[in-house]
Amino acid sequence: MMMETEVLPTYQNVVFSNFRFPMIVVFDHPIDCPTKFVARLFDSNVPTKYATVADNLDELRSQLPLSFNRLDRHTSDDPTIVEVWI
């Protein structure tokens, strides 16, 4: 069963202390949202219901928390993954 997604306008005001290891995975037009870029919040390796969406990568990055740092995708990641923010 697919998880219901709660689309947030931004991650700027999210309290991340409720998560063990929060990270945001940025996807380029994933299969469940093929017309947008998506930034889904994960708690360690478990996806949460929270995501933001945008038409382009720059717009999506502006929605991410200022305190997070970008990591390049790993070569073994799914091809739709652009980067990860921790």
pLDDT, tens only, 2-56: 568 999 999 999 999 999 999 999 999 999 999 999 999 999 999 999 999 999 9
Answer whether residue 51 is part of any domain.
Answer: yes
| Count: domains in the chain | 1
pLDDT for position 56: 98
Answer whether residue 8 is part of any domain.
Answer: no
pLDDT for position 1: 35
Answer whether residue 46 is part of any domain.
Answer: yes
Answer whether residue 54 is part of any domain.
Answer: yes
**Residue 15: which residues within 8 A CB-CB, separation 6 or more?**
none
Domain limits at 27? 20-80
The mean pLDDT value for 48-72 works out to 97
pLDDT for position 3: 64
Answer whether residue 12 is part of any domain.
Answer: no
The mean pLDDT value for 65-83 works out to 96
